[in-house]
């Protein structure tokens, strides 16, 4: 089993889900008392959020690249960034290390393609919905992407930072998200990408009449597959 390096704590609410999914998947595959071999670098998310809000992606890229090198030096054989938004700096992180960085959008795209869908809605932080890094990566797999119009886009973003990263999961916000998804369904989406790992804490597959792609779970399972591959 290869050692997985995890850049997480962005926020820890979703990072603990990564660890749970990876450990459960390894135990299911190998049996007994087996669990995942992990090295985790968890951040004070307030510092990350402040740099995001300031648009200082260069500082974030430098920080994650430095820590990725540290995880590699500590024995990590592959790396995951346990968040969708911070994949905006994935190219800089990959360039800084000699081990594979498993991209969350690739794991998501594989699931979308396997489901036979061509158009999906992307919900996430404002950065994930508005910057091209995620949509372009999905487009490389032949997937068309819809994002919410305003004011829905602001609502989706504000619930993430005002509630979900703080551990608040409310029925009211779930209803608001489902209304956003309903409008995207009317616009032609065939499925929904939970493009912020915390969204999986709020919206559940049984809430929808179309497929939901839980990016954190898909990414964590892809990491286990890579770790257990010969």
Closest CA to 14 of 204, 214, 201: 201
Answer for the pair 86, 196: CB distance below 8 angstroms, yes or no.
no
Asked about 108 being catalytic, the answer comes back as no
**In 10 A of CB 18, how many CB atoms?**
25
Q: Which residue has the tokens 């307030």?
A: 46
Active-site annotation holds for 83:
yes
Q: Is 211 exposed, middle or buried (0-12, 13-18, 19+ CB in 10 A)?
A: middle
User: Which residue among the candidates 83, 108, 125, 215 is catalytic per the annotation?
Assistant: 83
What is the Cα Rg of the chain in Å?
17
Catalytic residue among 85, 196, 197, 215: 196
Contact 182, 109 (CB under 8 A): no
Supply 118's token pair. 């061509």
* Residues catalogued as catalytic: 83, 196
């Amino acid at each position: 089993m290869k050692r997985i390096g995890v850049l997480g704590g962005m926020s820890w609410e979703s990072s603990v889900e990564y660890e749970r999914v990876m450990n459960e998947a390894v135990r299911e595959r190998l049996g007994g008392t087996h669990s995942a071999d992990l090295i985790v670098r968890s951040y004070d998310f307030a510092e990350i959020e402040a740099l995001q809000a300031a648009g200082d992606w260069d500082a974030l890229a430098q920080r994650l690249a430095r820590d990725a090198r540290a995880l590699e030096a500590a024995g990590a054989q592959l790396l995951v960034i346990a968040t969708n938004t911070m994949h905006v700096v994935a190219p800089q992180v990959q360039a800084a290390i000699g081990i594979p960085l498993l991209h969350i959008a690739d794991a998501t795209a594989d699931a979308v393609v396997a489901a036979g869908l061509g158009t999906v809605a992307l919900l996430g932080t404002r950065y994930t919905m508005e910057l091209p890094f995620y949509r372009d990566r999905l487009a490389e797999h032949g997937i068309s992407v819809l994002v919410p119009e305003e004011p829905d886009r602001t609502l989706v973003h504000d619930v993430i930072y005002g509630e979900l990263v703080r551990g608040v999961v409310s029925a009211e916000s779930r209803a608001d998200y489902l209304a956003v998804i309903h409008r995207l369904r009317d616009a032609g989406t065939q499925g929904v990408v939970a493009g912020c790992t915390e969204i999986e804490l709020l919206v559940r597959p049984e809430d929808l009449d179309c497929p939901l792609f839980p990016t954190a779970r898909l990414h964590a399972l892809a990491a286990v597959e890579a770790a257990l591959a010969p």
